[in-house]
Amino acid sequence: MRARRRIFGVTPVRLASSLVAATVFAAPAARAVEVSDPLEPVNRVIYGLNELVDVMLLGPVAEAYGELPSPVRTGVRNVLDNLRAPVTFVNDLLQGETDRAGTTFARFFINSTLGLFGLFDLASELGHPQHHEDFGQTLAVWGVAEGPFLMLPLLGPSTLRDTAGLAVDMLAFDPLAHASSIEPSIARGVGEAVDTRHRLDPVIRDVRRNSLDPYATVRSAYVQRRAGEIRNSRPGTADPRYESIFREEEE
């Protein structure tokens, strides 16, 4: 009940001043450890609304989805992953990762044909492991700063850079965006939401039970994980800010 009062307790003035602050303080530096969050009051409200949607709708639907036989869910996941391949392919190329682009192309070709429209991930078994790239990561590789942290309605944690990247991926790079009707995009969006929610269920339960401040947990973990994805988990790229934490007690 307390949470609900907070949700509707943000005044327009506060909203406006936060938006102004966001423009002024949009941080230029890449921050893997601390992210700038000038919109925090608004973000927390949106987070509360997302939580409401999760408890009332997405969570229960994902739980029902979890009752389906495991091979069915794997098939759904494979189809969704295969549909993302074109976006990954374009971004592999834009990042100059030609080897990875080749892998993505081979995967899409194999799984769309022999894998029966993506239902089976034969490519992984043939030695072409999966990876994901998006335009937010490409922007990061190009040196664009992540900007302020944003909590998007329904879509969850993001940054200004990742939100811009998402828009480009969805409107320009995604073949479904160029389809004549919008239904396939909607179906895919719902599938992604339910499947992702289902796979993250243990994590979500843990955060709900154990986090001292779930919003702060989600924000920190999102930014850290994105930084890892941008590095493509290559070693030797340690973040100096992360390293400095472990020298603190010497001060």
Site for other proteins in 219-238 (CB under 8 A): 219-222, 224-225, 227-229, 231, 233, 235-236, 238
What are the Cα distances from residue 9, in Å, to 13, 15, 167? 11, 11, 30
Instruction: Determine which helix (DSSP H) or strand (DSSP E) holds 55, and give its type and residue range.
Output: none
Applying CB under 8 A, among 20, 60, 63, 242 the residue interacting with other proteins is 242
Q: Which is nearer to other proteins, 176 or 227 (CB)?
A: 227
Dihedral in degrees, nearest 10, Cα atoms 155, 119, 135, 225: 60
Report which of 167, 24, 75 is spatially closest to residue 65, judged by C-alpha positions: 75
Judged by CB under 8 A, the chain residues 16 through 55 that form the site for other proteins are 18, 21, 33-38, 40-41, 44-45, 47-48, 50-51, 54
Residue 15 CB neighbour total at 10 angstroms? 14
The residue to which tokens 């194999």 are assigned: 110
Counting residues that bind other proteins (by CB under 8 A) gives 71
Q: Which is nearer to other proteins, 28 or 180 (CB)?
A: 28
Residue 226 token pair: 């994105």
Q: What character string, x for contact with other proteins (CB under 8 A) and - otherwise, covers 49-88?
A: -xx--x---x-----------x------------------
Residue 210 token pair: 């154990």
Applying CB under 8 A, among 13, 24, 29, 212 the residue interacting with other proteins is 212
240 binds other proteins (CB under 8 A): no
Least distance in angstroms from the C-beta of 77 to other proteins: 9
Q: Which is nearer to other proteins, 124 or 185 (CB)?
A: 124
Least distance in angstroms from the C-beta of 58 to other proteins: 7
Q: Which stretch binds other proteins (CB under 8 A): 102-110, 133-141, 164-172, 191-199?
A: 191-199
Q: Which is nearer to other proteins, 6 or 64 (CB)?
A: 6
- What DSSP string describes 148-203? SEEEETTTEEEEHHHHHHHHHIIIII-GGGGSSSSHHHHHHHHHHHHHHHHHTHHH
Judged by CB under 8 A, the chain residues 100 through 159 that form the site for other proteins are 151, 154-157
Query: How big, in percent rounded to 5, are the helix, strand and coil portions of the chain?
Result: 70, 5, 30
Cα end-to-end span (Å), the chain: 44
Q: Which is nearer to other proteins, 33 or 119 (CB)?
A: 33
Least distance in angstroms from the C-beta of 228 to other proteins: 2
Least distance in angstroms from the C-beta of 197 to other proteins: 6
Interacting residues of 49 by C-beta distance below 8 A, sequence separation 6+:
7, 153
Least distance in angstroms from the C-beta of 221 to other proteins: 3
